[in-house]
Amino acid sequence: MMQSTNALQNWIARLDRRVYAILIGLIVGALGGLVGLLIAATDPLLAAGAVLGILIGLYILTSVSGALYAMIAVVALLPFGTIPVKIGFTPTFIDGAMGAFLMVYLFQWMTGRRQFFRLTPAYAPLLLYIGWLIWSFVFGLRYAPPTAQILREFAETLLSIGLVFVLVDLLRDPVSLRRLVLVVMVIAGTEAVIALILYALPDTVAERTLIRLARIGYPNGGVIRYVNDDPAEAERAIGTWVDPNALGGFLAVTATMIAPQVFSRKPVLRWRIVAWGVFGVTALATFLSYSRASMLALALSIGVISLFRGYRKFIPLILLGLVAILILPQTRDYVVRFLQAFTAGDLSTQMRLGEYGDALRLIKQYPVTGVGFTGTPSIDLYTNAASMYLIMANQIGLVGVAIFASTMLTVFAYGWKAWKRVQDNIELRSILLGYHAALLAALLNGAADLYFFRLDFQGSITLFWLTVALALSSSRLVLEDANQQN
């Protein structure tokens, strides 16, 4: 009887393996058919991208770290990519990556794998800022009804700000923080290399390469950019960000984040030369974007880093770079452009000054509340201005700007408190400094560019609040480690 039972169990086990094998075969066959259909209907590149996206999607649904890294990669490499499917609106790749990340994170809470939510002092002003954004949006509806696109972009902005709470809670140990620095180095270095390759290619080849991304929401022509939009002048590096100023802002922030690693006593990479290489290509790509605001933000942030003990080796490098820029004939045009910026000697600077004047006129009329995000009270007023702070004042008023400023000051005050207790922790020292210097670079860049606040630049907005989250996370971990040692 026992032998008959064992034989039956063995037969069922073999049958289960056969059924399992049949199911695997059907899945593989279905995927093969899907790939063949994509190749026939579109092109091999899109088919390969779809399959790779499916595989990455399956992975990130099982790993919160993988979901986070995928989201950062999408922000850096495909910030304007859209999923070629409409569900009432066209979702972006960032929507999908952020949604997957938040879903995996929330699932950890629902299953009890994550407990005791982490808090920081910056949360109070940050919640007030979110509340004021929502109030400003509702208040501005009196001037114009919202479109589906504006509603989506505003919701995305709120989600990007909400990432601060999630990331600070997620990053609970120095190992995770160090690994994230490494991920940022790899991804930012990749985007910088892409930008340099496209810059070096003949314009027609680079154009043909970039317009292949039109299938996922990118422009299908006229993507190569030049100084003053004049093909007779210097070409500007754009990478996959399309807009050279937006690329410059991304690279300035990430290059500053990476910079302390080149002189760190315990860098995240064993080979310091690799850190130098990544920092070098990101700085070079920033330079070739011809974004004056980004270059100035990068230079000033590196200058601030050089004031701290252990990083003063940057001072001779800064001086050497400044001398090289001033005397080399290849950089003469760059020097001229900076002089024009400070003397209003070029058309783009004159246009910016005109925008600043119009913005101040709007602020004078609506100083407290701004006019919201959907429209303006009259056709002779507009909210766009080439400054994050001016467009912010236009849309959410001076009260909103003050709340934002208090939030940033709280982040830096929290960071300074952590810095005074991190002196003996060489593992976290460079990371803490890098994240806060990167946030400073973003804030400086925002003085002459609007991409970290304007709703239709979701990638830049997400990058900004990721940087805020990383600064807060590093401060919290430093203070937590210091308290444990005491």
| Residue 446 within a domain | yes
| Residue 249 within a domain | yes
pLDDT at 48: 52
pLDDT surpassing 90 at residue 458? yes
pLDDT tens string 193-248: 999 999 999 999 999 999 988 888 899 988 999 988 888 888 999 999 989 999 99
Characterize the bridge pairing of strands 235-236 and 225-226: antiparallel
Task: Report the pLDDT averaged over residues 179-194.
Answer: 93
Domain count, the chain: 1
pLDDT at 25: 53
| Residue 44 within a domain | no
Task: Report the pLDDT averaged over residues 347-368.
Answer: 88
Report, in angstroms and rounded to the nearest whole number, the Rg of the chain calculated over CA atoms. 25
pLDDT surpassing 60 at residue 9? no
| Residue 185 within a domain | yes
Model confidence at 337, pLDDT cuts 50, 70, 90, reads: confident
Tell the burial category of 461 from Cβ atoms under 10 Å away from its Cβ (0-12, 13-18, 19+).
buried
| Residue 476 within a domain | yes
pLDDT at 469: 96
| Residue 43 within a domain | no
Of 486 and 445, the structure prediction assigns the larger pLDDT to 445
Percentage of residues in the chain having pLDDT higher than 70:
86
pLDDT at 64: 80
pLDDT at 164: 96
Residue 224, φ and ψ in degrees, nearest 5: -70, 135
Question: Helices in 140-200 by DSSP H: which ranges?
Answer: 148-170, 174-200
DSSP helix, strand, coil percent of the chain (3-state; round to 5): 75, 0, 25
Of 285 and 345, the structure prediction assigns the larger pLDDT to 285
pTM attached to this predicted model: 0.88
Lowest mean pLDDT among 2-11, 270-279, 383-392: 2-11
CA distances from 288 to 1, 293, 376, 388 (A): 81, 13, 36, 22
pLDDT surpassing 70 at residue 483? yes
| Residue 41 within a domain | no
Q: What letters, b where the CB count within 10 A reaches 16 and e where it falls short, cover 91-118? A: bbbbbbbbebbbebbeeeeeeeebeeeb
| Residue 392 within a domain | yes
Average pLDDT, the chain: 85
Lowest mean pLDDT among 50-59, 242-251, 299-308, 348-357: 50-59
pLDDT tens string 411-437: 999 999 999 988 777 778 999 999 999
- The domain in which residue 413 lies consists of 125-485
pLDDT surpassing 60 at residue 37? no
pLDDT tens string 251-286: 999 999 999 999 888 888 778 898 999 999 999 999
pLDDT surpassing 90 at residue 109? no
pLDDT surpassing 90 at residue 118? no
Tokens, residue 415: 């960071």
